[in-house]
């Protein structure tokens, strides 16, 4: 967690330095965007880790070298952003992403351990938008940081766990940190634009496999996904 806080401090510190270096720019046109709402419809590539960091319970005697990876996914995402001022905004996202968790070492590669894990990555970030002036076509890069809460809406035992007597799987909901960077490009003066956004989450989960009411396996996993989005925006 200390590392996460240091990364967040670095991002927010960069934004603060930029704000201090360009006070006139932040004030000019502050009335232009304050109170605006921006909606983004995005295609999003989600690339989680899924690596095991600890094995807490291992009743079946799985190899200590057991290692896993969560598969990548591409999903639609909706982002809603409120501009507190011309340069500062608050953003949240809506969308779900589905993943399987497969073995990569210790047992045959590709053995499915978790199936159809459906994730709701509730996220709120504060963003600072840089003013570059008209010479770059109105492009507005930004950085941001915020909190995330990963909620698992569904998770099923993988096919490889069923012969072990597993009847249920549970992934723990967890809080974490999100760092963000990207840019918006206006297409016209009526609010239409294009957007590219990159987030890195720092968040873990505990996976539990049950045989009836008995906890058979418990492992700690590093998720830490990269989330890359691109699409259209509309500001009003």
Segment 61-76, tens digit of pLDDT:
999 999 999 999 999 9
Q: What is the pLDDT of residue 5?
A: 39
Q: Three-class SS of residue 133?
A: coil
What letter does residue 135 receive in the DSSP assignment? G
Listed in sequence order, the DSSP H helices in 126-179 are: none
* Banded model confidence at residue 135, pLDDT cuts 50, 70, 90: low
Give dist(CA 203, CA 180) in Å, integer.
15
4 or 150, higher pLDDT: 150
Q: Average pLDDT, stretch 158-187?
A: 95
For the chain, the average pLDDT equals 88
* Banded model confidence at residue 1, pLDDT cuts 50, 70, 90: very low
- Residues making up the chain, counted from first to last: 236
Residue 149, both tokens: 């809460």
Q: Average pLDDT, stretch 71-90?
A: 97
Q: Distance between alpha carbon 98 and the CA centroid of its chain, in Å?
A: 13
Quickly name the fold that domain 2-235 has.
Answer: Porin (2.40.160)
Q: What is the pLDDT of residue 32?
A: 72
Q: What is the pLDDT of residue 125?
A: 98
Kindly list the domain boundaries of the chain, sorted by start residue.
2-235
Q: Average pLDDT, stretch 142-153?
A: 98
- Over pLDDT 90: what percentage of the chain? 78
Q: What is the pLDDT of residue 30?
A: 40
Segment 5-55, tens digit of pLDDT:
344 444 344 434 433 443 433 334 344 789 999 999 999 999 999 999 999
Q: Taking the chain, what is the end-to-end CA distance rounded to the nearest angstrom?
A: 37
Give dist(CA 103, CA 158) in Å, integer.
10
Q: What is the pLDDT of residue 14?
A: 41
């Amino acid at each position: 967690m200390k590392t996460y806080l240091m990364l967040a401090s670095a991002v927010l510190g960069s934004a603060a330095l930029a704000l201090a270096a360009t006070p006139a720019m932040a004030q000019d046109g502050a009335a232009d965007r304050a109170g605006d709402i921006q909606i983004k419809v995005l295609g999003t590539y989600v690339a989680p880790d899924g690596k095991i960091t600890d094995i807490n319970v291992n009743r079946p005697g799985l190899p200590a070298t057991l290692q896993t990876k969560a598969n990548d996914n591409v999903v639609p995402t909706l982002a809603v952003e409120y501009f507190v001022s011309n340069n500062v905004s608050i953003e949240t996202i809506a969308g779900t992403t589905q993943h399987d968790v497969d073995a990569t070492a210790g047992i045959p590669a590709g053995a499915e351990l978790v199936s159809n894990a459906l994730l709701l990555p509730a996220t709120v970030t504060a963003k600072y938008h840089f003013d570059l002036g008209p010479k770059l076509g109105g492009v507005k890069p930004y950085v941001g940081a915020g909190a995330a809460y990963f909620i698992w809406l569904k998770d099923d035992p993988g096919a490889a766990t069923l012969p072990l007597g597993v009847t249920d799987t549970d992934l723990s909901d967890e809080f974490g940190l999100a760092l963000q960077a990207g840019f918006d490009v206006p297409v016209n003066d009526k609010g239409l634009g294009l957007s590219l956004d990159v987030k890195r989450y720092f968040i873990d989960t505990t996976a539990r496999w049950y045989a009836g009411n008995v906890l058979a396996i418990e492992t700690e996993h590093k998720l830490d996904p990269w989330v890359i989005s691109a699409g259209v925006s509309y500001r009003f």
